[in-house]
Amino acid sequence: MLPPGLSLIIFFRKDQVFLCARSLSLRETNIPAIVSRFDAPVYWKVTVKKHLADEKELVVSIDSYNQGVPEISHTQQQLFPALAEIKRINFLSINTEKLLASAGSEGTSQTIIHDDQESAVEITKVVQESLSIPIKKLNFQLGRVTFTHRFKGFLSATEITIENYELREEFDAIKNYFAKVFGKKKIQVDVTLEIDGAYARISAVSSPEIASIDKKLIESVRFEFVRTLKKKIEPTIDKSLFTADELLSHFGEEEFKSNTFHTNAQELFEDLLQVSDSKHYLHLRYLSSIHASHILKLRFVHNPFSFIFLVEGDMHYHVIWETLDTQEATYLWHVDRDIESLKRALRKIEQIIHTVKVQGKTAYLNSNEPDRFRRVYHDYSLVKEGFLKWKGEVERYLT
């Protein structure tokens, strides 16, 4: 039982509260929710008013509000085992102005408590450590990455922050692509510790890999993501046509946000052309330029990777299926120019694509398809001349 009148030091760092080596969270105190963390080291001198042992709760009054890292008395060190049992702290008469001033203090250092009570004497020294941290353990946030690490000789792990204003929280779902671009699965982190008594303050932290993340490297990550997207194993689903959002949802990473790199289908289309050795580059550029995006969003087919375009003719809609990098003819269907007919045609074309994927194109070509279907072949012998020949034939069918 902790006696009334006992003087203690309570240390605050970020959202953690320390009476001893074991920490509590701010939410395990009655500090108002308006304060969610302390940005710099803060400590309060308090007096015990009541110790509710059964509830593992401590009621204290605040004697003073202080900045910096405190020296822990030998008396409090001896009480560490009893203080480690405390699950909640209630402060009497918190001074709101002083509380907010403490919470708003600027600073970037981080503090942890040594697990050896006998070492908690007045010592000040600087230690530099080089850590090798797996990228999968990084937590990408807005403007920074964080991870937790337990330094040798200290009881609890601490959260370490490395700032980089190019980072966004959306990158957390695709952190493995950063590993691919870096060419390694771990990053180097250099940390400077200032050890003072029972506490160690992180005064500096850096990483050459995190520092190298700029717009150019993020672009490399984006292209790596798009390359991998093409190679993903197709899930077992009864679906062949995808919008850009649906494609990224089905073939992207778990918890991946479709707007991480691309705000619309055209941007994804452009990246796919850029990372592919497309046999139909000119053809796809042309079809994209005449695609009626105001009527139909560009549709993607994953296997073979290809696109469904819509061209608005005078009398008909024309639905065109063109592959990205396989030697396939262009498939073209004519549809009555009304939205319901277009919807029915798209459902049927999705079934046709599924048949081609499962049974091969011969199965569809040998079926009794009405004359509203056309195939336009490619001439690969001469790039420009072959494209112009193909374009002329397609335009003849689009009248």
Q: Give domain limits for the chain.
A: 7-103, 110-211, 217-397
Q: Residue 389 pLDDT more than 60?
A: yes
* Cα–Cα distance for residue pair 386/381, rounded to 1 Å: 7
* Cα–Cα distance for residue pair 300/6, rounded to 1 Å: 70
* Cα–Cα distance for residue pair 228/275, rounded to 1 Å: 10
pLDDT number for residue 285: 94
Between 134 and 357, whose confidence is greater?
134
Nearest to 228 by CA among 305, 280, 299, 282: 305
pLDDT number for residue 106: 39
Residue keyed to tokens 């679906």:
239
Nearest to 226 by CA among 260, 183, 184: 260
Amino acid present at 382 = L
pLDDT number for residue 371: 60
Q: Which tokens hold the place of 200? A: 């160690």
Nearest to 6 by CA among 44, 47, 57: 47
Nearest to 58 by CA among 88, 84, 28, 82: 88
DSSP characters over 227-254: HHHHHSPPPS-S---B-HHHHHHHHS-T
Q: Residue 237 pLDDT more than 80?
A: no
Q: Residue 35 pLDDT more than 80?
A: yes
Q: Residue 182 pLDDT more than 90?
A: yes
Considering Cα of 135, then 136, then 141, then 142, what sign does the dihedral take? Answer: positive
The pLDDT-based confidence of 124 (bands split at 50, 70, 90) is: low
Please state whether beta strands 88-92 and 57-67 pair in parallel, antiparallel, or not at all (unpaired): parallel
The pLDDT-based confidence of 189 (bands split at 50, 70, 90) is: very high
pLDDT number for residue 314: 85
* Cα–Cα distance for residue pair 118/311, rounded to 1 Å: 79
DSSP characters over 147-170: EEE--TTBSS-EEEEEE-TT--GG
Q: Which tokens hold the place of 257? A: 């946000």
pLDDT number for residue 108: 41
pLDDT number for residue 123: 43
Question: To the nearest whole percent, how much of the chain has pLDDT over 70?
Answer: 90
| pLDDT per residue as tens digits for the range 314-351 | 889 999 999 998 888 999 999 999 999 999 999 999 98
